[in-house]
Amino acid sequence: MMGDNMQQTVSALLASGKGILAIDESTSTCTKRFQEVGLESTEENRRAYREMLVTTPGLGRFISGAILYEETLMQKSNGISFADVLKKQGIIPGIKVDKGTKELALFPGETVTEGLDELRERLKKYAALGAQFAKWRATFSISEKTPSCDAIHANVHAMARYAALCQEQKIVPIVEPEVLMEGKHTIEQSYSVTRKVHQILFQELDRYNVALEHLILKTNMVLPGYSGKKAAPEDVAEMTVKCLLHLPAVLGGVVFLSGGQSDEDATRHLNVINRTYKNKVPWRMTFSYGRGLQREPLKLWASGNKEKAQKMLLLRAEENAKASEGML
């Protein structure tokens, strides 16, 4: 029965023509976003902004799940929890459970994600509050010396333990190993590092008996660094899928992050990936975007126009939903 519940969640999250909305920014990240548009980051402002997002009429037509931050999971709209507001639209609530990245001791320039302490108890609490899936993120920078194998192993070890704890609580884990775009690396270097991270991650997941069919990979597309030579969308699609084809066919599915890309590029790349390759891979490939969906709605909301902000969110969700089918 445990597997049945998780399988239903995986299938719903990866439903055709839909993707995942990431609104799991930490308070510090949310504060930066608000400062960019001239807003004070009070708890009420954060609640009101996220209320605008989760109450957007029709959002469930294009969004299958929403990743929340702990503060957001606890917040309400007219006395109704955000989790229940989402469920009424057919959107599955999820929760970011990691505690962010910290410097990896004795490895300059590298980080490790923290958050395993008391995770079993926190997962029980989140499940009781309505969360049906979770997310854990680790980051890797490309330079002459990074990422080191040691930093990769430290991060995927924590990620595998997180995934096992999630499945123990009937919560679907999303694992997010993000190879960052900062730097001047080529698309070939991005491919090499992304593939290496995936390879070591899935070895560790196997070691911890994680059921891959009840797990979703959230990954970066294979892209050159900001300072590197820009790649054509067709090359991004080819290199990304070439990298993913090394993953086990039994994997529940793949969702892409939008980090580092412009809104337009994130949508364009997703569209080309699916238009060209969706029938050549064993799992669905869709989006799990944060800034790629929120950037313009936040600007509109900050200027006092809630209705326009919601319409823009719905438009961005629809565009990416179409792109997830290669139909844009």
- Annotated catalytic residues are 176, 218
Q: Where are the alpha helices (DSSP H) in the chain?
A: 2-13, 27-36, 43-54, 70-74, 82-88, 119-128, 149-168, 187-207, 233-244, 263-277, 291-302, 306-323
The token pair that represents 201 in the structure block: 């991650």
Q: Of all residues in the chain, what percent are helix, strand and coil, respectively (each to 5)?
A: 50, 15, 35
Q: Rounded to 5 degrees, what angle do the CA atoms 129, 134, 139 make?
A: 140
Asked whether the beta carbons of 179 and 223 are under 8 A apart, the reply is no
Cα–Cα distance measured from residue 97 to residue 127, given in angstroms and rounded to the nearest whole number: 12
Cα–Cα distance measured from residue 321 to residue 20, given in angstroms and rounded to the nearest whole number: 10
Cα–Cα distance measured from residue 240 to residue 222, given in angstroms and rounded to the nearest whole number: 5
CB neighbours of 316 closer than 8 A, spacing ≥ 6? Answer: 263, 292, 293, 296, 297
Cα–Cα distance measured from residue 254 to residue 25, given in angstroms and rounded to the nearest whole number: 21
Place of tokens 């490790």: 112
Cα–Cα distance measured from residue 13 to residue 213, given in angstroms and rounded to the nearest whole number: 13
Cα–Cα distance measured from residue 86 to residue 63, given in angstroms and rounded to the nearest whole number: 10
DSSP state of 148: -
Judged by DSSP in three states, 310 sits in helix
